[in-house]
């Protein structure tokens, strides 16, 4: 059945509708009249004072397209589902559990209809092990007879699935039930990425940069990273979705423009958007600056515009989400050039005071303030990065004892960067 319209829901309230344009690929969006009168804008790029976004403007297409998997994860999913490689078709297939609070459903499905389904189904250890072992990717999307096909969408290039994780058991959410955690799998040939992200997420939390609780578990011989969802909360024993958007969505950009070097925003543009939408802006601006400093100190060159998100409260106010996808890409052999330049410098190992001074001028921030934040953060990271307290937290979170030694290169890189930061 060819679907040309999709309904967008927040809980049981209809937010609006998506539709295919005349070319069959681009998407338009229109707010529901009642939502426009009583709801909140779902994006800083889709304000409520405008109701209709035609496909040719690309604004709505960019926002909803940013909900979808990218690169190899997208390609594998399209092959498994046997659908065209276009954003609308993917949303129609897997838009039922996106990042944030929205559900994207075909016309024949409503939240009320989904309530009749079971809340979750156990995730087969065999499926999980095969996925972790780079076999039968997206087999979850071929349900057994009589079961309901999962409607799971998570943006990003790394393979991941949303799950309900309770009592060390994994379940797939069904119906209106939302996931509680994200399971991330290693990039083929780079299993250390799992332990590295656990290390940096835990370090970030220890030095005061908000970051979701993160754990490692194993299936067979493969490591899994389990990350608590920050776009979910517990209200009276029930999981509740929290609306969010990343900075590509907030700025009205396509996912292909997440990197500055590929036409994406400069750090100063992100600062300005945060200044405009977060009230009061000071806490959010400080958190974003600390995130950029942290990335420079630990060697995370993949801190792009889709790796910064905003959360919306029930009054429609926006604030910064915790940090996520913190990976030491430099020591893992990925592109060492940082996603957001500092001044004009894209090599964090060659930073000088003039680069931070230029960033301050571009962002309309005080350089003495930035310098104080650098000093504060590098001292805390230096004190914690090789500490017994950090090691204890990691072991409690599931890091194997032998993996601590495998992280030695990451700790050495941090120590080297922290020494350089004394001159920034």
d(CA 318, CA 153): 23
Give the predicted TM-score (pTM) of the model: 0.92
Q: What is the DSSP string of 180-231?
A: SEEEEEPBTTBTHHHHHHHHHHHHHHHHT-----EEEEEETTEEEEEEE-TT
Q: For residues 29 and 14, is the Cβ–Cβ distance under 8 A? A: no
Q: Check 302, 314, 335, 355 and give the catalytic one.
A: 302
Beta strands (DSSP E) in 313-402 are 318-320, 337-342, 345-347
Q: Give pLDDT, residue 141.
A: 47
Positions of CATH 1.10.1070 in the chain:
244-421
CATH top-level class of 244-421: mainly alpha
What does pLDDT average to in each consecutive run of 10 residues of the chain (424 residues)?
A: 84 95 92 97 97 96 91 76 85 81 90 71 82 61 45 60 91 83 82 95 98 95 94 87 96 96 96 97 98 98 96 96 97 93 97 98 97 98 98 98 97 98 96
What SS3 class is residue 314?
Answer: coil
Q: Give pLDDT, residue 143.
A: 47
Q: Give pLDDT, residue 251.
A: 98
Could you confirm whether 325 is annotated as catalytic?
no
Q: Give pLDDT, residue 177.
A: 80
Structure tokens at 45: 């790029």
Q: Give pLDDT, residue 145.
A: 42
């Amino acid at each position: 059945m060819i679907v040309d319209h999709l309904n967008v829901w927040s809980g049981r309230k209809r937010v609006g509708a998506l539709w295919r344009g005349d070319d069959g690929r681009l998407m338009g969006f229109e707010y529901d009249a009642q939502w426009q009168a009583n709801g909140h804008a779902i994006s800083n790029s889709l304000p409520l004072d405008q109701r209709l976004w035609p496909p040719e403007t690309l604004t709505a297409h960019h926002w909803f397209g940013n909900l979808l998997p990218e690169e190899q994860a997208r390609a594998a999913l399209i092959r498994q589902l046997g659908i065209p490689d276009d954003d609308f078709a993917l949303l129609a297939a897997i838009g039922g559990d996106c990042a944030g609070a929205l559900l994207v459903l075909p016309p024949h499905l409503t939240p009320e209809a989904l309530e009749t389904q079971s809340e979750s189904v156990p995730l087969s250890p065999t499926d999980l092990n095969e996925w972790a072992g780079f076999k039968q990717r997206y087999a979850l999307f071929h349900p057994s007879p009589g079961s309901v096909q999962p409607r799971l969408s998570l943006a990003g290039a790394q393979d991941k699935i949303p799950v309900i994780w309770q009592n060390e058991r994994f379940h797939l959410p069904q119906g209106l039930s939302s996931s509680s955690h994200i399971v991330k799998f290693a990039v083929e040939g780079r299993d250390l990425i799992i332990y590295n992200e656990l290390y940096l997420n835990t370090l970030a939390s220890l030095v005061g940069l908000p970051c979701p609780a993160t754990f490692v578990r194993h299936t067979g011989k493969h490591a899994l990273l389990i990350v608590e969802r920050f776009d979910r909360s517990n209200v009276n024993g029930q999981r509740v979705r929290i609306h969010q958007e990343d900075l590509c969505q907030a700025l009205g950009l396509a996912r292909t423009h997440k990197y500055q070097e590929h036409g994406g925003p400069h750090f100063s543009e992100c600062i300005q958007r945060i200044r405009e939408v977060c009230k009061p802006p000071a806490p959010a601006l400080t958190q974003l600056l600390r995130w950029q400093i942290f990335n420079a100190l630990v060697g995370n060159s993949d801190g792009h515009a889709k790796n910064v998100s905003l959360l919306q409260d029930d009054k429609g106010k926006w604030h910064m989400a915790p940090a996520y996808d913190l990976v030491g890409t430099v020591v893992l052999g990925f592109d060492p050039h940082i996603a957001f330049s500092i001044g004009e410098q894209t090599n964090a190992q060659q930073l000088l005071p003039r680069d931070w001074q230029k960033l301050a001028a571009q962002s309309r921030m005080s350089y003495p303030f930035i310098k104080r934040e650098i000093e504060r953060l590098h001292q805390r990271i230096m004190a914690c990065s090789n500490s017994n307290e950090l090691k204890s937290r990691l072991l409690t979170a599931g890091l194997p004892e032998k993996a601590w030694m495998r992280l030695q290169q990451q700790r050495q890189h941090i120590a080297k960067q922290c020494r350089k930061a004394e001159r920034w």
